[in-house]
Structure 1
Amino acid sequence: MNTHKQVKRPKEVNNSGFSGNSSAEGKRLLNKDGSANLSKTGIPFYQRFSIYHTLLKMSRMKFLIVVFLFYTTVNLFFAGIYMLIGTDKLSGGPDNHRFIDNFLHSFFFSSQTLTTVGYGHVAPVGVVANCIASIESFLGIMTFALVTGMFYARFSRPKAYIRFSDNFIVSPYQEGRAIMFRLATYKNNDLTDVSAEVTAAVHHMENGKRITRFYPLKLEISRINSLAISWTCVHYMNEESPFWQMREEDMMARSIELLVTIKGFDDHFSNTVQQRTSYANEELVYGARFVPMYERSESGGHTEVMLDRIGSFTRHSFVEEPDRQPTDEAG
């Protein structure tokens, strides 16, 4: 009679969206901000570059700098045109003929025209100057409408506002070990019906070729009703795990990357939001426990969540175990 326990092997998936050819991959599949770590070639730059998506995704400071540079460049361009046709075509100009005074006169007239402010101190004279001013006014109306739309799109775009721990750890769990990482919302928004999906990309050599296999990791809890404080996602390294019986040297040798996707419903946006990130091999801490990141406030009236502790951990030594070989299914 066979008394050995049957081990359920982890099932590999091929729908991750990434290639299994490790030799063609960069350092990691996903960047920390969740964007794909790749560049596209083979077609002209303007066909693979979206101005709208670029402006929407860039940081607030970069966006303001781009708007300011665009505004300044357009004014410099039209100021140069007014200088070419002659500043005598702009009434109310300086009495002297210094270049800097004439240029500043043209620049500020361009600024007033572009923004359709029109103080009235300076006015175009003649058909040519009026035509240029009309074109600039029309350009100003169009561009400021687009900029206003971009401001609104950036302001109203649903975003999860989730902060992840800098590292993922292998920690004692139940009678074995588990992979863990922690996350929390850092704004005053509320996420409900939050789910987590984690895929492990395991790189290894097969027949002299470096390939990547993808495994969905089963979490102890994959969905929670509300992300009010923090959430520690736990993958138990049992018989069903691709990391079954792996130790630190085994995991480091396989160059593991965790691809994480978090989805939830934001009550304020009344929309589903998501955020992605990844953990690479160098961000693995083997033998650690996360430090509690919330406690009762001094007044006792509320719970204090300390976001600066989201990645804090303490080292923990595992009890030595007999030598075991990792399963072939993990690579």
Structure 2
Amino acid sequence: MDFLKRINTKAKTDNNTGFGSNSSNYGGRFLTKNGNANVRKDGIGFFESISWYHTMLNIPRWKFLFIILLFYIVVNLFFAILYYLIGVEHLNGITANSNWEKFGQAYFFSIQTYTTVGYGHINPTGFLASLVSSIEALIGLLTFAIATGLFFGRFSRPSAFVRFSENAVIAPYQNGKALMFRLAPFKNTNLVDAEARLTVGISVEENDTIVNKFYTLPLEMERINALTLSWTIVHPINEESPLFAFKESDYENIQGEFLVFFKTFEDMYSSTVVKRTSYTFKEVVYGAKFLPMFTRNNQNDKTILHLDKLNAFEKVKL
């Protein structure tokens, strides 16, 4: 535990992070790579712990479309089975001979009823068939309204379209060294008044007990007026930094994590958006520097931002 003695005691701890200090009760990293809290809520029912609206807004696009399509197929399959059990003779216009063809026509009648298209060549007769079709039409209206709201929410929700480098680096800086990582916008949006904050959480020994200590790391530049190109966030490792006496081996042996909080103003929606991520000590490359990721074009009239070089770095000596 000798490396714990190298944590700079001059650094001021941060007690307002919202993360627990008892290291023995904490598992894994504080934040996942995509910025979500690495916490699983327990003690209540699964459905009570899930906000379905937020889940449907946040899941990837392919999952969202797959769920919509799957729900559409299953609901119509359910009502088609009901029509078939009631009897296809109560669906006037079905002329098929085989049972599979009858079920298929009942299924497409369900689709026409659910979507309220109603082509008219098949219509329900009798009380039960008419009751089921009226209930299905109501459910169709409600679910399409919900789906429309979800589509609108996903398209209209402002987001910080910003990507972070996969690694942070310990790079040469002035006459010493600094912790660096970088970020860049990847959509055709305008981000202004961008701010960044960096906190490090380290497991340290205190009164013979391992606890989590958090330190706010001062940045070379905490705010920029506009985020149009890449932005390299720099924390100078000077005598005031808790990382001042750290060696390369410490980043491999110490359980620690850099918590990144990013906030900017998205002028298209006139709203503030946020983004979070984190770097564990094992995701820090000691003795490296980032390579340039933007150049001018051949006509010398435009700047090209190479997003595929966001994490490009080379090893250097410190």
TM-score by length of 1: 0.92
Letter in 1 for 2:124: P
Checking the alignment, whether the CA contact within 8 Å between 2:220 and 2:233 is kept in structure 1 is: yes
Letter in 1 for 2:184: A
In terms of mean alpha carbon deviation, does 243-252 or 217-226 score higher?
A: 243-252
Are 2:21 and 1:27 aligned? no
Per the alignment, residue 141 of structure 2 pairs with 141
Using the TM superposition, give the Cα deviation of residue 208 of structure 1 relative to its aligned residue in structure 2, in angstroms: 4.1
Written as runs of structure 1 = structure 2, the 5 A alignment for 1:272-287 is: 272-287=272-287
Using the TM superposition, give the Cα deviation of residue 207 of structure 1 relative to its aligned residue in structure 2, in angstroms: 4.1
SS of 1:147's partner is: helix
User: Structure 2: how far apart are the matches of 1:264 and 1:75?
Assistant: 44
Deviations 1:21-66 (A, max 9, x none): 2222222111111111111010111211111011011001000000
User: Structure 1: how far apart are the matches of 2:142 and 2:208?
Assistant: 59
Checking the alignment, whether the CA contact within 8 Å between 1:8 and 1:239 is kept in structure 2 is: no
Checking the alignment, whether the CA contact within 8 Å between 1:170 and 1:178 is kept in structure 2 is: yes
Per the alignment, residue 239 of structure 2 pairs with 239
Unaligned runs of 5+ in 2: 1-7
Using the TM superposition, give the Cα deviation of residue 165 of structure 1 relative to its aligned residue in structure 2, in angstroms: 0.5
SS of 1:179's partner is: strand
Checking the alignment, whether the CA contact within 8 Å between 1:109 and 1:122 is kept in structure 2 is: yes
User: Structure 1: how far apart are the matches of 2:207 and 2:249?
Assistant: 21
Checking the alignment, whether the CA contact within 8 Å between 2:263 and 2:272 is kept in structure 1 is: yes
Structure 1 ranges of 4+ moved more than 4 A: none
Are 2:60 and 1:47 aligned? no
Per the alignment, residue 259 of structure 1 pairs with 259
Are 2:161 and 1:158 aligned? no
Unaligned runs of 5+ in 1: 1-6, 319-331
Q: Percent identity?
A: 47
Checking the alignment, whether the CA contact within 8 Å between 2:9 and 2:242 is kept in structure 1 is: no
Aligned residues between the structures: 311
Using the TM superposition, give the Cα deviation of residue 250 of structure 1 relative to its aligned residue in structure 2, in angstroms: 2.3
Are 2:157 and 1:173 aligned? no
Letter in 2 for 1:306: H
Deviations 1:203-258 (A, max 9, x none): 23334433211111100100000011110000001111111121111233222201
SS of 2:148's partner is: helix
Are 2:227 and 1:227 aligned? yes
Using the TM superposition, give the Cα deviation of residue 160 of structure 1 relative to its aligned residue in structure 2, in angstroms: 0.5
Letter in 2 for 1:313: F
User: Structure 2: how far apart are the matches of 1:37 and 1:100?
Assistant: 49
TM-score by length of 2: 0.95
Written as runs of structure 1 = structure 2, the 5 A alignment for 1:1-331 is: 9-96=10-97, 98-318=98-318
C-alpha RMSD of matched pairs (Å) = 1.2
User: Structure 2: how far apart are the matches of 1:137 and 1:72?
Assistant: 15
Checking the alignment, whether the CA contact within 8 Å between 1:194 and 1:263 is kept in structure 2 is: yes
User: Structure 1: how far apart are the matches of 2:114 and 2:273?
Assistant: 38
